[in-house]
Structure 1
Amino acid sequence: MKNHRYIIGIDLGTTNSAVSYVDLSDESIAKPQIQIFRIPQVTAPGEISRLSVLPSFLYIAGEYDIDIESTRLPWKDNSTKVTGAYARDHGKKVPKRLVLSAKSWLCHDKVDRKSPVLPWGSDQSVRKVSPVDASSAYLNHIRMAWNERMGDDEDSWLENQMVIVTVPASFDEVARDLTIESARMAGIPNVILLEEPLAAYYSWLGRHENEWQKLVSTGNLILVCDVGGGTTDFTLISLQEIDGNQRFERLAVGDHLILGGDNIDLALARYVAEKMQGTSGKQLSLDRWQALCHQSREAKESILSDAAESKTITLIGEGRSLIADTLSAKLDKTEIETIVLDGFFR
């Protein structure tokens, strides 16, 4: 660690990615504080904001879709792809060009994870990317954002620091290797992988540094449950005493469970679709279904954060039936809680 000024932790999430760091340069501080790196990203055409998370969305712009110059970032980037908040928000309007849940695809052993398959279901007019490419795009955005903040001080650039990337405990070796490959493609040649439930447990230990021994006894079993955007992880940890020294041991990891916030959004979208369609039984097109999923997620986040008591979700009609086929339904907090609690946690 003496060769690094910073220890940087990256949570490469299914829905959002976040970065925290510790500055080791001030030796007068016995315990350096963990800080959150606010990530610059496009939030509207010509507008850049520093946010606490980078939404894990990649938008593949079309030739006449958006003015790509209005999405340029402070660092040099000639890509026609957009990552982060604007990718998420604009993508709900053109869902066939939006890559999401790349992390879930990264551990999907039924597809070639290096092949251009995303956005899933898009037609040939979209130049697709692989799950590895998408993950690399998020990591590259984070690296370039960090380096832009550090300026010309190459010794402080992200690729020259100790970088830890979290992964689900249930990731198999292939998914872990692909995560490392994504980092290398993003210009981060050396990363340490840390299982997410262990990271959560280490965080708990850090917050209870002076009292954890009062809360945990030798032989106790600790179950860490990590419900993420695309996966749910269970890890069983025990406090053991060996040769008079106490140490924590990971005893077991749950099977890979592709169940998380994405599934809740799908359940909400299906519920709203049934309210919209009534007894007509008319199926939504793929584009309208994807738009409904995005709006359902936004409604869930807004309502459960108490920003609104309810939200009206509207799907504009297509083609000649632009007005006639417009569908609308209201979603409130009671409905969301019923679906989440009864459908997922009972």
Structure 2
Amino acid sequence: MDHIQEFLIKYCHDFLKQDSVKMLHVVTRHEAFSELKKVSLETICENPDLLFGSDKFFSLEEDVLTMILKCGNLNMDEGIIWDRLIKWGIAQHPKFKSDVTKFTNEDFETLKKTLHELLQFVRFHQIDKEQFITKVWPFRRLLPDNLIEDILRCHLVPSAAPLYIFLIRNWSTIYSIDSVLMNKEIAKLFIKWIDKKSGDNKKRSKNNRYEFNLLFQRSRDGLTSQAFHQKCDNKGATIIVGKVSNSNRLVGGYNPLDWNGNGQYKDTTDSFIFSLDNLNDPQQSSKIGRVNHNHSTNAIYCHNGYGPTFGGGHDLYAPNNNNYWQFNTNSYANINVSGSVSISDYEAFQIVKKN
């Protein structure tokens, strides 16, 4: 049995990717798999989409779902946890209508009983106000009135402390982020790219934590390249995030070095550029272009008269005092963005890794 468990532990991520629900049901029902159970939970907490994004998620047994929600390091936005939990509860009752506005009093009471034990593990005060209104408010009848009032009070009065204390979910990869363009799900995707992690990469970095320090915001600091360099030079690794005008598309790039220098190319194989179209599902809508190794000497271009610029050619170039970024596939893999692209705003973050 030991050698079987060792084999399963070694390829735990692969087995969870194939059928996370079946594997969790097995390892939680047999004491002999205690070590595999521990590794499986750690893997799910680090990569929750393996379970919550599975088409078999709705068949997960309640006790297993409870065990996962109890984890303090589940690396998942609380609003998304709530959304998946509600959909899980509804899936247990196939006769429910898909439109919540058509729910009867009996439907709400049934759903409330189904989710009664699970709701206590949702950190409602960590759900932002937009998600609260769009995701939680339609199902407010599932929650006690005093809890709803307390959440509203905290959203309306930012300095107010919650009267109902819940455990704070410990984000395993992100300390904090101050951004008008991206959310934590996007930041977590960036971290995977920075760590060069993928579903097939067994390198674990669960003890690594990151700070995203906002250095520059075009709408706040202006269009000039001088303003960019004044804020971002001598700051080490940075990630640039720009929003394409009149769309939900984000584009940008990661510089693992710095922006110091005037008319100087810098050599690295760790930089990348990217585009993504769906802010709520960045993993599925993203395109990353890593620097080609034979072009690594031209990976980053630093110039006082230029904003952030990647690659020889250039693959991504932010001109001085101009809303239009230029894209030209040369030193990086293609991200399906080319020519002149209007950018409504962009931000630059210093990336600080904490071990």
The TM-score bracket by the shorter chain reads under 0.3
Q: TM-score, normalised on structure 2? A: 0.27
Q: TM-score, normalised on structure 1? A: 0.27
**Structure with the largest fraction of helix:** 2
**Structure with the largest fraction of strand:** 1
